[in-house]
Amino acid sequence: MSKKLITVTINGKKEERAVEPRTLLVHFLREDLNLTGAHIGCETSHCGACTVDVDGESVKACTHLAVQCDGSEVLTVEGLADKGVLHAVQEGFYKEHGLQCGFCTPGMLMRAYRFLQENSNPTEDEIRHGMSGNLCRCTGYQNIIKSVQYAAKKLQEPVTA
């Protein structure tokens, strides 16, 4: 199958690659770029394990084509920490025991990251709805909700110099 050249900025770094038009974004990330953080749990947009951020929106990379990202900015879990400092959502999941097997976690983190920009001070109910596109089989969600609450609180703290 003939390939198409695409340019995508991934975690702040420009990548130029030739991909088959049918290549899914999640395979492009995992196989071509070795970014294995985004996982594949269902291939049908139901589990959210493959969630990444494309141009400021949560996207399920298992049903999104790599060529659709030509010219886009993509953020994956590997780009979430800033110079080794964990993002508030990462810290939240760690502190509140928001993960067990860790398979859903990259998708959860990427969704939580975007969700908190859509709603910086959510109620528990809003978190439940805002994160409901991401399934977890291990944690029973309660601690994931706490993790998101932790991050929301942390992100609202005034930045100290």
Partner 1 sequence: MNAPVPNAEAREIALAGMGASRLRKEDARFIQGKGNYVDDMKMPGMLHMDIVRSPIAHGRIVKINKEAALAMPGVHAVLTAEDLKPLKLHWMPTLAGDVAAVLADEKVHFQMQEVAIVIADDRYIAADAIEAVEVEYEELPVVMDPYEALQPGAPVIREDLAGKTEGAHGAREHHNHIFTWDAGNKAAADAAFDNAEVTVSQHMYYPRVHPCPLETCGCVASFDPIKGDLTTYITSQAPHVVRTVVSMLSGIPESKVRIVSPDIGGGFGNKVGIYPGYVCAIVASIVLGRPVKWVEDRMENISSTAFARDYHMDGELAATADGKITGLRVNVVADHGAFDACADPTKFPAGMFHIVSGSYDIPAAHASVKGVYTNKTPGGVAYRCSFRVTEAVYLIERMVDVLAQKLNIDKAEIRRRNFIQKEQFPYTSAFGFEYDSGDYPTALEKVLDAVDYKGLRAEQAAKRADPNSPTLMGIGLVTFTEVVGAGPSKICDILGVGMFDSCEIRIHPTGSAIARMGTITQGQGHQTTYAQIIATELGIESEVIQVEEGDTSTAPYGLGTYGSRSTPVAGAAIALAARKIHAKAKKIAAHMLEVNEADLDWEVDRFKVKGDDSKFKTMADVAWQAYHQPPEGMEPGLEAVHYYDPPNFTFPFGIYLAVVDIDRGTGETKIRRFYALDDCGTRINPMIIDGQIHGGLTEGFAVAMGQQMPYDAQGNLLGNTLMDYFLPTMVETPHWETDHTVTPSPHHPIGAKGVAESPHVGSIPTFTSAIVDAFSHLGVTHLDMPHNALRTWKALKANGVNL
The residues of the shown chain that bind ligand FES, judged by CB under 6 A, are 40-43, 45-50, 60, 62, 99-105, 136-139
Residue 37 sits in the site that holds partner 1 (CB under 8 A): yes
Q: In this chain, which stretch among 2-10, 15-23, 113-121, 153-161 interacts with partner 1, using CB under 8 A?
A: 15-23
Position among 12, 13, 16, 44 found at the interface with partner 1 (CB under 8 A): 44
Tell the smallest beta-carbon distance from residue 42 to partner 1 (Å). 5
Parallel, antiparallel, or unpaired for β 73-75 and 4-10? parallel
| Contact between 111 and 60 (Cβ < 8 Å) | no
Tell the smallest beta-carbon distance from residue 139 to partner 1 (Å). 5
The tokens of 97 are what? 């025991």
Q: Could you tell me which residues come within 8 angstroms of residue 29 by beta carbon, excluding any fewer than 6 positions away?
A: 10, 35, 38, 52, 61, 74, 76
The tokens of 55 are what? 């141009």
Residue 94 sits in the site that holds partner 1 (CB under 8 A): yes
The alpha-helical segments, DSSP class H, found in the chain are 25-27, 88-95, 105-118, 124-130, 142-156
List residues near partner 1 by CB under 8 A. Answer: 20, 22-23, 27, 30-31, 34-44, 46-47, 49, 76-78, 80-81, 86, 90, 93-95, 97, 99-106, 109, 127-129, 131-145
